[in-house]
Structure 1
């Protein structure tokens, strides 16, 4: 039976968002055991929606279930990083290419507005330069969503959204390892400018390169 709704969402959906955000923010680290009592306190909910949220998080790869230990945060791995990166390059690159070909003036306006909002605030926290600002991450997600929003395929958009979320923990880790040599803002601007110039292949290539640079920055971390 569907859980009681809060607004237009279920309690299980709210629990899913709360737990996923806590994992993304590093409150629960890779390998940490997830105890129901702690998650109920975090979500301020009964065990049923929390259990449903964990089932969804496990299906999406954020958590794992062990018969003996219960639920825990999924580990990070070089193999998954490479898989997620390659799949994003394939799917989001194609979604952007289609958006450039199909996008109208409204799509251009969404893209310009999303980029403007993203660059208005810094990427990292003032008190912790190795941590990403949550408000920047929201705007960053909106920018990437705007890039592919005119692809014309709801299924492809759903896949892109899930891949973006799946890459979240790796993206946050790459920020903590940033040595200042990479110009992420410049990479975003280049992708946008190529898209607005209607260079479909160039924009898709720049986006694939953007994801590849994030993966390359993490290769050394996993090699240690």
Structure 2
């Protein structure tokens, strides 16, 4: 059984329910096209119905779930065009952020990017580490640009494309090439050259878009094999 054992107030219970269901969706552990019966899901996850329903409303607003009616929700099959639009929006958001941020990106993130050395071994664990660097980059760029809306939007975009990104980083030499581009971004921002950093981000996202048909097909296959809910 998966459950939330903390005794928190309503807001924290909603946040905990949101995080739990989102993690399942991001990892492809919920079958697509599945109508969610709130009471049954609450019993399975050992969550209260009210915080769970609030979490499902939030997830549907962010595009993780489909809203069927006032209280109905269902899981979604990943679609190529939707993922393409997410990646294109990532490109616009990050490019604008890098240009605005200039040298205000934190020294710690710049150093972490420029010091990347190890090439992923195409494992889930390696991809998770590398995906963490990507997430740090987006969040730090948004904060350096002084734009919390950009920070929050970046988080949603990254989470909705999480499984595609993880699969991409494990494909062929994608991890090694992404590491090299992340190093270029770190060096470029340290030298006050945001345009070079923008070019490197476009290279990462461009390669992913080229493989999108394969990546989405694999992501949907993984989710279709899920035994939950």
Q: TM-score when scaled to structure 2?
A: 0.75
* Contact kept? 2:86, 2:157, Cα under 8 Å: yes
* Contact kept? 1:111, 1:147, Cα under 8 Å: no
Q: 2:113 aligns with which of 112, 115, 119?
A: 115
Alignment match, 2:64: 62
Larger RCO of the pair (alpha carbons < 8 Å, separation 6+): 2
- Looking at structure 1, the residues matched to 144 and 10 of structure 2 have their Cα atoms a distance apart, in angstroms, of 25
* Contact kept? 2:168, 2:215, Cα under 8 Å: no
5+ residue gaps in structure 1?
A: none
5+ residue gaps in structure 2?
A: 1-5, 219-229
- Looking at structure 1, the residues matched to 10 and 137 of structure 2 have their Cα atoms a distance apart, in angstroms, of 24
Please give the root-mean-square deviation of Cα atoms over the aligned residues, in Å: 3.4
SS of residue paired to 2:29? coil
Q: 1:96 aligns with which of 95, 98, 118?
A: 98
CA shift in 2, pair 1:196/1:51, >3 Å: same
Q: Deviations over 1:97-156 (max 9, x none)?
A: 1112x51xxx34231354379x5887578xxx3676556544542233224431122223
- Looking at structure 2, the residues matched to 218 and 76 of structure 1 have their Cα atoms a distance apart, in angstroms, of 11
Q: Deviations over 1:135-180 (max 9, x none)?
A: 654454223322443112222333223222232232134245x123
Q: 1:179 aligns with which of 150, 172, 181?
A: 172
Structure 1 residue 185 displacement after superposition? 1.2
Q: 2:75 aligns with which of 73, 76, 83?
A: 73
- Looking at structure 1, the residues matched to 98 and 192 of structure 2 have their Cα atoms a distance apart, in angstroms, of 11
2:24 aligned with 1:26 = no
SS of residue paired to 2:172? coil
Structure 1 residue 22 displacement after superposition? 0.9
- Looking at structure 2, the residues matched to 169 and 223 of structure 1 have their Cα atoms a distance apart, in angstroms, of 11
- Looking at structure 2, the residues matched to 164 and 79 of structure 1 have their Cα atoms a distance apart, in angstroms, of 16
Instruction: Select between 142-151 and 6-15 the one with higher mean Cα deviation.
Output: 6-15
SS of residue paired to 1:72? strand
Instruction: Select between 18-27 and 211-220 the one with higher mean Cα deviation.
Output: 211-220
2:197 aligned with 1:203 = yes
Q: TM-score when scaled to structure 1?
A: 0.77
SS of residue paired to 1:149? helix
Question: Size of the alignment, in residue pairs?
Answer: 211
* Contact kept? 1:40, 1:46, Cα under 8 Å: yes
